[in-house]
Amino acid sequence: MADSKFKIQNSKNKSIEDQIPKTEDRRPIQNPQSAICNPQSRVWIVSELYYPEETSTGYYITRTAEGLADEFDMNVLCGQPTYSARGRRAPSKETHKNVKIKRCVGTTLDKNVIVFKLVNILTLTLSIFFNAVFRFKKGDTVMVVTTPPSLPFITAIACFLKRAKYILLIHDNYPEIAIASKMVKPGSFIVRVMQRLNRFLYKRAWRIIVVGRDMKVLLEKKIGKEDEKIFTIPNWAELETVHPLPRDENPLLEELNLKDKFVLLYAGNMGYPNDIESIIESAEQLKEKRGIHFLFLGAGVKRRWLEKAVKERKLENVTLLNPKPRSEQTVFLNACDVGFVSLVSGMWGVSMPSRTYNLLAAGKPMIALTDAGSEIEMVLNDDSVGWSIPPSAPDKLTEIVLEAYSKREEFAEISGRARQAALEKYSLDAALDKYRKVFTTDEK
């Protein structure tokens, strides 16, 4: 909602869930004549993260594989836990919910130390490559996540050697995310090399899946409009566990003594691509506004900077919490009046924070710091559920926070629209239907 004006819709008598058709029995009947990937053929998913990891990539890849296992022979190549489940040693081989898992050896050093993260990537990439060459067979279909950026290349080589076809699942676009994070410079040698290698990779992929409409546009700019191979499949809201919770019943707000405050929540990764700085600048501008409070929950490379900034600026209107497990999302996502989704400049077409969909599931209005025309902005505008402003604009953010504060009496209807959008558009069933189509038909 770029102009920051809500179009309030009339409430309906029926509850939102009553209006949404049940999805359990809506799987399309497959036409054997159009099948490309036979339901009995082997499908591999190659990902750094998989069960028991619960960070966003691990969660989404796990649920995708498990959701397709009733129709395909699902297999996974992945690493040992290095994120939320770091320190836990999972079996080298196991079958979990009808998915055969092979966890490859590799270091599991602290990912927040850049050198250690690079060592983890190198060792896991080599291990996955040798396992892929050993295990892939002619005719297999392989879907590979493009994070870390080395993973799709070694998977493509293994597929070439074993005459298998590969699908790219793009959660983050490289080198754009590295440029936006100021880790590399635009036009630098490494960027030019990555761009050329990516075009080679994209052109030879059987199919490509992106998680945002802006990502599809960016990809078409790179390789041309190849509509027959590019699919847009958003991630989904965790509707089975996340739902609206009455504010008066929220135990976290009670614990933090914030029930009488207007609370703005940032929950999730605090990484280089996230504009945490603008939110803190706005919090400093509003520190005399006693009725407004900022709540941060999460971890990442910017967490230390955040802690230092709050202490040095004496921001009593900011509370910092450590990450909480996914099982507690309904509580902590409802411990606010408004949720933040925040990216730095230059992230258009590069990434789509999955937390957006769970904020919708919790029925929360959102303030998004994002480039114009991004998938985040489109999601907010499609159903009039929030405000969108450019990154690195703390003064504008302060204006929007005050506007949201003044409109808080309207939030009940906004909450209903957010929850309805999650139910209708961003469910697991809806995503799995689209994944089945990628694997089984000629047409999108």
Q: Which structural domain, as residue segments, surrounds residue 151?
A: 31-236+427-440
pLDDT at 435: 96
Kindly state whether residues 252 and 393 are assigned to the same domain: yes
96 pLDDT more than 50: yes
Cα separation, 105 vs 90, whole angstroms: 11
pLDDT at 109: 74
pLDDT at 33: 31
Kindly state whether residues 224 and 338 are assigned to the same domain: no
Mean pLDDT of 373-378: 98
Q: Closest by alpha carbon to 308, among 339, 344, 335, 276?
A: 276
Of the listed ranges 100-109, 195-204, 298-307, 376-385, the one predicted with least confidence: 100-109
- CATH code, 66: 3.40.50.2000
pLDDT at 226: 67
Kindly state whether residues 230 and 269 are assigned to the same domain: no
pLDDT at 39: 54
Kindly state whether residues 55 and 177 are assigned to the same domain: yes
Higher pLDDT among residues 422 and 6, named by residue: 422
Query: What is the tally of structural domains in the chain?
Result: 2
**Strands of 338-342's sheet in order across:** 318-321, 292-297, 262-267, 338-342, 366-369, 386-389
The SS3 call for residue 2 is coil
Alpha-carbon distances of 101 from 201, 354, 422, rounded to whole Å: 25, 24, 30
| pLDDT tens for each residue of 296-343 | 999 989 999 999 999 999 999 999 999 998 889 999 999 999 999 999
Mean pLDDT of 379-402: 97
The greatest distance separating any two alpha carbons of the chain, rounded to the nearest whole angstrom, comes to: 67
Whether residue 433 lies inside any domain: the answer is yes
Kindly state whether residues 206 and 83 are assigned to the same domain: yes
Cα separation, 303 vs 270, whole angstroms: 6
Kindly state whether residues 290 and 187 are assigned to the same domain: no
How does the average pLDDT of the chain come out, rounded?
A: 88
Kindly state whether residues 123 and 165 are assigned to the same domain: yes
Asked if residue 13 lies in contact with residue 419, where contact means CB atoms within 8 angstroms, the answer is no
Kindly state whether residues 414 and 305 are assigned to the same domain: yes
Kindly state whether residues 202 and 295 are assigned to the same domain: no
Cα separation, 132 vs 314, whole angstroms: 53
246 pLDDT more than 60: yes
The Cβ-side half-sphere exposure at 380, using a 13 Å CA radius, reads 32
pLDDT at 201: 95
CA 237 to chain centre: 10
443 pLDDT more than 50: no
What pTM was computed for the model? 0.87
Kindly state whether residues 418 and 436 are assigned to the same domain: no
Going by pLDDT thresholds of 50, 70 and 90, the confidence category of residue 106 is confident
| pLDDT tens for each residue of 9-57 | 333 334 434 443 343 333 343 433 334 566 557 999 999 999 998 888 9
Percent of the chain topping pLDDT 70: 88
Mean pLDDT of 47-74: 93
| pLDDT tens for each residue of 258-301 | 999 999 999 999 999 999 999 999 999 999 999 999 999 999 89
Mean pLDDT of 243-254: 95
Going by pLDDT thresholds of 50, 70 and 90, the confidence category of residue 85 is low
Kindly state whether residues 254 and 394 are assigned to the same domain: yes
